[in-house]
C-alpha cells in the first residue's frame, strides 16, 4: 500500500476520541505542531478537510534561520529531502549586479512540502479527514463535532486553519486588517533549464517607484526555474491583468538587463497571483483555545517571515507552553495568554509586521520623508559600488566560488554533513 493509499484509510473510526491536544488544520503550522507533540508522547488529533494538501501557491523559499528551527524541531532531514538548497545568491540593484552573497536558502513547492511533512506523521497521529461542524471551548474541556458525527474531546484546541475563516468565526475570533490588499505575489516558471540559467538564485530589485515592484527572485526548484515577483498593487489593477496576459513583454521592458540570462523571459506556466493583507487577531485571549500561524496573523510574503512565524509559534508551544499547561488541571485563558505574551513570539510577529510595512513604504511612498530615506539608502549603495570598483581597479578579477566546489558543498548539505550556515555568510560585492 502506498503512503497516499495508507493516508486514504480513515484511521480514526467515527465515534468519540479523547486526546490531550486537538489541532484543526494540517497545513505547515498544524502538521509541525502535531509531529513535535507526538514525539513528546502527547495524544493528538489532527483534523483537515483535505486528505492530500490541495495545490495552492504559497511560500516557495526560506532561509538558513528557518532551517535552524526545522532542525530544532527534529525535522531537518525531512525538510532537506523536500527542498532545493542554494548558497550563491546574485543580487541586482539599479539594473546591475550589486552583490553576490554566500548564504543558504531553500526552495520548495508548498504542496509537496506539506504532504511530505504529513507523511512523516507517526501512526499514533493519523490525519482525521473531516469538516468541523461545531466547536465548543471552555476552561477545562474542548469539543469538536465533525460533520460525519464523530466527536473529538481535548484538553486544548489549537486552530491552525491559515487564511480560512470558518473555525475562527465559529469560536468568535475576529481578523483585523492592518493593511488591506497590502501586496501581490506572482509565481511562474521560466522556460529555461537550471543549466542554461547558470546561477543558483537571482534577485532583481525594482528600479522605479512608479513600477511598485519590491523585487523579482528567480531560483531553482528541482529541475524547474521558478520566479516569484512581489509587487504593491491590487488584483483589480489593470497592470496586473496586462502582466498575466503577457509576462514576457512586461519583464523585457522592466528588467532588460537580465533578459538574456533569463532566456528572454519566456515563461513555462501560467502566472499565479495571490493578494495578501496584513492581519492580526482580536478576541483570541480565551479559555481552552490557541491560534497559530496564519490563523493568528498574516504578513507580507516579500519579507519571507511567514514560515518563521509558523516555526516560532510551533517551537514556543511545543517546547515551553503546552507541556506546562498539560501539567496542571484546567486550560483557562490565563494559561493561554502566556503564549501570546511570550517575548519570543511577540518579537517574531512584530519583526514580520514592521518589515512588511517598511518595505512597502520605502518602495512606493512619494512624500518628502520617504524620498529622503530612499536617497540615503541608494547613495550608500552607489558608494559601496564605487568603493568596490576603486579597490578592485587594476587587480585581477575576484575569483568566484568554483562550480564544483559549490556542487560538493550542496551535496554535503543534502546529506546533512553541513551545519546550517546562517553564520557562514560572506557578503561580497563583485564586479557588475
Ligand atoms: C503567495 C504566497 C507566498 C508566500 N511566500 C512566502 C515565502 O516566500 N516565505 C515565507 O516564509 N512565507 C511565505 N508566505 C507565507 C506562508 O506561506 C504562510 O505564512 C504559511 O504557509 C502559513 O502556514 P499555516 O499552517 O498557518 O497555514 P496553511 O499552510 O494555509 O494551513 C492551513 C490548513 O488549514 C486547513 N483548513 C482550512 N480550513 C479548515 C477547517 N475549517 N477545518 C480544518 N482544517 C482547515 C487547510 O486545508 C490547510 O491545510 C507566502 C504566502 C503566500 C500567500
Nine cell digits for residue 393: 581597479
Residue 11 has pLDDT above 70, yes or no: no
Give the atom of ligand 1 at the shortest distance from the alpha carbon of 185: 1
Pocket of ligand 1 (CB under 6 A): 24-30, 47-50, 53, 57-62, 132, 160-162, 164, 166-167, 185, 274, 276, 293-295, 301, 304-308, 310
Written as one string, the DSSP assignment of 126-143 is -EEE--EEEEE--SS-EE
Domains, the chain, in order of start with CATH, read 3-59+110-173+283-359 (3.50.50.60)
Nearest CA to ligand 1 atom 6: 59
State the distance between the two ends of the chain, measured CA to CA, in whole angstroms. 54
Asked if 134 and 144 count as a contact pair (C-beta separation under 8 A), the reply is yes
* Residue 267 vs residues 22, 29, 43, 91, 244: alpha-carbon distances, Å: 43, 32, 47, 21, 11
Average pLDDT, the chain: 89
Ligand 1 centre and the CA of 77: distance in Å?
Answer: 21
Residues 237-276 pLDDT 10s: 999 999 999 999 999 999 999 999 999 999 999 999 999 9
DSSP state of 267: B
Q: To test the ligand 1 pocket, which listed residue (162, 166, 167) has its Cβ within 8 A of the most ligand atoms?
A: 162
- Expressed in angstroms and rounded, the spacing between residue 339 Cα and the centre of ligand 1 is 20
Mean pLDDT of the 172-191 span: 97
The grid coordinates of residue 9 equal 484509510
Q: What is the pLDDT of residue 406?
A: 36
pLDDT for the residue numbered 397: 56
Say how many Å lie between the CA of residue 114 and the centre of ligand 1.
10
pLDDT attached to residue 359 = 97
Model confidence at 423, pLDDT cuts 50, 70, 90, reads: very low
Q: What is the mean pLDDT of residues 378-402?
A: 76
- Ligand 1 midpoint to CA 296 (Å): 11
CA 16 vs. chain centroid, Å, equals 35
Amino acid at each position: 500500500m502506498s503512503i497516499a493509499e495508507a493516508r486514504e484509510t480513515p484511521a480514526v473510526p467515527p465515534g468519540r476520541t479523547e486526546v490531550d491536544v486537538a489541532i484543526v488544520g494540517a497545513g505547515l503550522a498544524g502538521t509541525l505542531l502535531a509531529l513535535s507533540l507526538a514525539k513528546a508522547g502527547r495524544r493528538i488529533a489532527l483534523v483537515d478537510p483535505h486528505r492530500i494538501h490541495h495545490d495552492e501557491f504559497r511560500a516557495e523559499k526560506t532561509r538558513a534561520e528557518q532551517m535552524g528551527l526545522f532542525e530544532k524541531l527534529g525535522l531537518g532531514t525531512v525538510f532537506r529531502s523536500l527542498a532545493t538548497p542554494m548558497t550563491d545568491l546574485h543580487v541586482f540593484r539599479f539594473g546591475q549586479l550589486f552583490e553576490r552573497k554566500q548564504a543558504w536558502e531553500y526552495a520548495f513547492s508548498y504542496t509537496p512540502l506539506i504532504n511530505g511533512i504529513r507523511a512523516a506523521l507517526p501512526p499514533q497521529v493519523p490525519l482525521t479527514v473531516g469538516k468541523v461542524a461545531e466547536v465548543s471551548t471552555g476552561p477545562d474541556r474542548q469539543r469538536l463535532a465533525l460533520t460525519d458525527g464523530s466527536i473529538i474531546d481535548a484538553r486544548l484546541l489549537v486552530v491552525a486553519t491559515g487564511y480560512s475563516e470558518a473555525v475562527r468565526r465559529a469560536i468568535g475570533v475576529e481578523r483585523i486588517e492592518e493593511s488591506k490588499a497590502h501586496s501581490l505575489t506572482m509565481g511562474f516558471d521560466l522556460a529555461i533549464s537550471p543549466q542554461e540559467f547558470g546561477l543558483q538564485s537571482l534577485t532583481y530589485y525594482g528600479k522605479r517607484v512608479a513600477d511598485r515592484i519590491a523585487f523579482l527572485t528567480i531560483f531553482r526548484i528541482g529541475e524547474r526555474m521558478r520566479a516569484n515577483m512581489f509587487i504593491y498593487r491590487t488584483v483589480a489593477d489593470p497592470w496586473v491583468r496586462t502582466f498575466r496576459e503577457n509576462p514576457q513583454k512586461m519583464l523585457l521592458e522592466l528588467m532588460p538587463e537580465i533578459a538574456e540570462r533569463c532566456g528572454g523571459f519566456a515563461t513555462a506556466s501560467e502566472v499565479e497571483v495571490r493578494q495578501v493583507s496584513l492581519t492580526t487577531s482580536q478576541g483570541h485571549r480565551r479559555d481552552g483555545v490557541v491560534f497559530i500561524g496564519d490563523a493568528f496573523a498574516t504578513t507580507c510574503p516579500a519579507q519571507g517571515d511567514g514560515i518563521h512565524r509558523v516555526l516560532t509559534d510551533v517551537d514556543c508551544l511545543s517546547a515551553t507552553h503546552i507541556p506546562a499547561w498539560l501539567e496542571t488541571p484546567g486550560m483557562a485563558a490565563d494559561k493561554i495568554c502566556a503564549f501570546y505574551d511570550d517575548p519570543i513570539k511577540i518579537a517574531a510577529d512584530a519583526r514580520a509586521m514592521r518589515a512588511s510595512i517598511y518595505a512597502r513604504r520605502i518602495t512606493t511612498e512619494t512624500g518628502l520623508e520617504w524620498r529622503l530615506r530612499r536617497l540615503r539608502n541608494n547613495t550608500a549603495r552607489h558608494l559601496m559600488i564605487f568603493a568596490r570598483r576603486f579597490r578592485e581597479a587594476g587587480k585581477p578579477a575576484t575569483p568566484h566560488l568554483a562550480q564544483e566546489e559549490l556542487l560538493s558543498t550542496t551535496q554535503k548539505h543534502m546529506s546533512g554533513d553541513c551545519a546550517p550556515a546562517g553564520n557562514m555568510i560572506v557578503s561580497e560585492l563583485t564586479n557588475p
